[in-house]
Structure 1
Amino acid sequence: MAVFTSVSLEQITQWLNRYDLGKVLELRGIPSGIENSNYFLTTECGEFILTLFENLKAKQLHFYLHLMRHLAHHGIPVPNPTEDQQGNILNELNGKPAAIVTKLTGNSQLKPTPKHCAQVGAMLAKMHLAGQAFPLHQPNLRSLPWWKDTATKVREFLPKDQRALLDSEIAHQSAFFDSSNYNSLPEGPCHCDLFRDNVLFEDTEDSSPHLGGFFDFYFAGCDKWLFDLAVTVNDWCSDLSTGMLVQEKLLAMLHAYQAIVPLSALEAANWRNMLRAAALRFWLSRLYDFHLPRSFQMLHPHDPRHFERILRHGIEAPSIPWI
């Protein structure tokens, strides 16, 4: 999350007249992330998150916001969009689509233990099952077509060895996506961006982790469940200095996920392909943000080399651990 479009206290006070949230007490920008403008919003009725969408259109947002509402109503701890007096969950503010969602409790855990990874894996499985009943469909907009398009834009900035890796992996994933194995994998609504900073954990008296919720669903889409799991594993279970998966964390997450949604033999057989696909997706997005930055107010591009390392390790990864 970040701030690209400024909102004054006077503007938000007038805009909130369409909601039954009471008087504005505080509005504070959130200085992290790379896609939307986000603010902590406190009113007489509680704490919320205000998001102004910088690139997404109302038609796309209909899917994201209603998916969040569906999951919240099915017991998954996610931000719940707030209706205005007319029943709308999306409006316009300063020329941008804007929404208010409930604020989850807790803090991001940037140095997760296996216990944190287990809780994330279990809730991800529950989210996949809850999403089965969601009636809307939108593909993952950051899947293979986007990878191919983005690769052509960033390729000129890369040295020879990185260009070779990118070209080879695009070819590999194109063949994989065209296979009967890929098309037979279970699918449904997925978060597609469940990184450490998109999950909150609450503090407890005995210091044991308690998952507070998942948020930032604005890259969500209908995709393979295995892809969503691989995206999550690549971030939560990798060593930040080397990009290698930490086996204790990996096993904790896979154990917890499979206790709720057992992986099929077909999914196990394609685990390495999905680890690579998940790494490629985020290597490309970081390359794009690094080499083709947009105007920004509070923006800190991530280092693309981290996901390059994860991708190279993924190419050599063993099959999924049998657990």
Structure 2
Amino acid sequence: MNNVKEKSNFGFFGSKLYFILACLAGIPIYIAVKGYVESIQVYADDSVAFAATVFFIMGVFTGRYISQVWASGLKTFPKDVLSGLALLIVASIAWLFFHADFPLNGRTAINLLLFWLPFLLISIASGMMIKVMHTVTQNQLTEAKSQAAHSQSELNLLQSQLSPHFLFNTLNNLYGLSITDHQKIPPLLLKLSELLRYSVYDASEIYVPLKNEMAYIKNYIEFEKIRIGDRLVLSTDLEEMIDPEIKIAPMLLIVFIENAFKHSKNTASPEIFVDISLRTWGGSVLFSVRNSYGQDGEENNILNGSGGVGLPNVNKRLELLYPNAHELNVRSDELFYTVELQLKMK
């Protein structure tokens, strides 16, 4: 009931607005028409100018109505139609001035027709152009809002998957350690609580300060150092003095870091090599991670993102949050798997 009432009120105020705009538009139209009829020496020029102004405004609304019938579904500007209407308006105006200089002698009725017909065409064509342009603009705006809402919903879904994905992988690791190296469990659980606090509470925004994300990454690295122990050969180059105004999509980089630790531990080598770099330069965030990996077909799993939701998720988020503003390079050789990502600063 309220929606019906709101629509009714909107229709009332919309009609009132159109009436006010028509009155305001009628002023310059009246002045222009009066000047024209005076130039061709028409008797009762005030009455004729007023009648022509009303006639013109009615023609504009008629043109709007005609366009509304066939243009309601347009999402792009019909260039041929708009060009034709513009040409018709220009030709009709040119004809009015030509006819004013060369009227037909003794042909009053035909002269009236030759004046009012192009005048009618100008008003209808103008109304059609206005309605088509307004309709296309509104349809494009509605479609853009719909796409934005869809992208936002998709982004929220992708972001909601990150914490469960991280928790699932971490609990699997903790289960293995509880059997083989249970004394590491208490400090790992403490680090895990800090990580989950950030991922659940602090990472709910679309963009978060890069400084906060850096602290989260450092906590995660400490978590992995405890978990892996002496096997880990870690090299980090993490910028310390980061502008607090720089923002980044939350838990975007951690997917690559988590992947590096996850797959490097499966190498047959007694040592696990992980190299992480994160710096800002020239309006961009520069990130890279390199890790050793196994030779049992695991490279293919990493590259294709078949190891879980992480990599497909982050690729989709990059498309939604950094369209034409990111560059992701993935490569591998016989020993190392490398990810390099460049993001435009937010």
How does the TM-score come out when normalised to structure 1? 0.24
Q: Greater helix percent: which structure?
A: 2
> Relative contact order, CA 8 A, sep 6+: which one is greater?
1
